[in-house]
Amino acid sequence: MSTANDARFWDRSSRNYAKSPISDQAGYERTLERTRALLKPDDRILELGCGTGTTALRLAGGVTSYLATDLSTEMIAIANEKHAANPIPTLAFRAETAEALASEAAKFDAVLGFNYLHLVRDLAGTLHSIHAVLAPGGLFISKTPCLGDMSPLIRLALPVMRAIGKAPYAGVFRAQELSDLIAATGFEIVSTESHASRGKDSRPFVVARRN
């Protein structure tokens, strides 16, 4: 399996994903509020794995530039449809990955990745690319399902679901492992927060600063 297969999976899923409700609306609003508070008006933002652009459309108006990217051209097509209905001059959508952007050194003041890091094939490599595109002192803000902290049943079901094309590639790691890897890439962990409005939260919101 490859990134091209991942792109096909997400292309196929895009219209249903666009229709599916946010699972924890209150938790999502908390994440948006917290992220907004961390961004400054003159910031240049990169969002990775932006999906259909819901978050970008909520945040882009408050910053100087906001490039929202995703592996899936179909996700980006839907995001562009939504953007056309609600234009925001600072916002642009592009089908792109962190690895492809890594040559754009120090170009962004903050990188955002929500429900994204568990889907990349080479987590350490992706974190290095994120480090490369951030200006010194820039923030990497993420919220990531940590499958290693979830029920073992999910981890058992995933390979079966994947084999029949019903689940994407997903890496299994714990929140602590993710945090350690982010720190080992050259970031200082500023905070690790729980934004879930109910139940156990296995999707830590992590704010990290590029050293």
Ligand X SMILES: C[S@@+](CC[C@H](N)C(=O)[O-])C[C@H]1O[C@@H](n2cnc3c(N)ncnc32)[C@H](O)[C@@H]1O
Q: Which residue sits closest to ligand X, CB atoms considered?
A: 51
* CB burial readout 26-53, b (16+ within 10 A) else e: ebbebbbebbeeebeeebbbbbbbbbbb
Kindly tell me which of 27 and 51 has the beta carbon lying closer to ligand X.
51
Contacts of 57 (CB under 8 A, 6+ apart): 82, 83, 86, 88, 91
Kindly tell me which of 137 and 158 has the beta carbon lying closer to ligand X.
158
Is residue 75 part of the contact set for ligand X (CB under 6 A)?
yes
Kindly tell me which of 116 and 140 has the beta carbon lying closer to ligand X.
116
User: Interaction with ligand X in 106-145: which residues (CB under 6 A)?
Assistant: 114-116, 119-120
Residue 49 falls in which region: left (phi positive, over 0), alpha (psi -120 to 50) or beta = left
Is residue 97 part of the contact set for ligand X (CB under 6 A)?
yes
Nearest distance, CB of residue 188 and ligand X, angstroms: 24
Kindly tell me which of 48 and 158 has the beta carbon lying closer to ligand X.
48
Contacts of 29 (CB under 8 A, 6+ apart): none
Of 88, 110, 114, which is closest to residue 30 (Cα–Cα)? 114
Is residue 204 part of the contact set for ligand X (CB under 6 A)?
no
Contact flags string 3-32 toward ligand X, x per CB under 6 A = x--x---x----------------------
Residues linked to residue 65 through DSSP beta bridges, in sequence order: 44
* Residue ranges binding ligand X (CB under 6 A): 3, 6, 10, 48-51, 54, 70-72, 75, 97, 114-116, 119-120
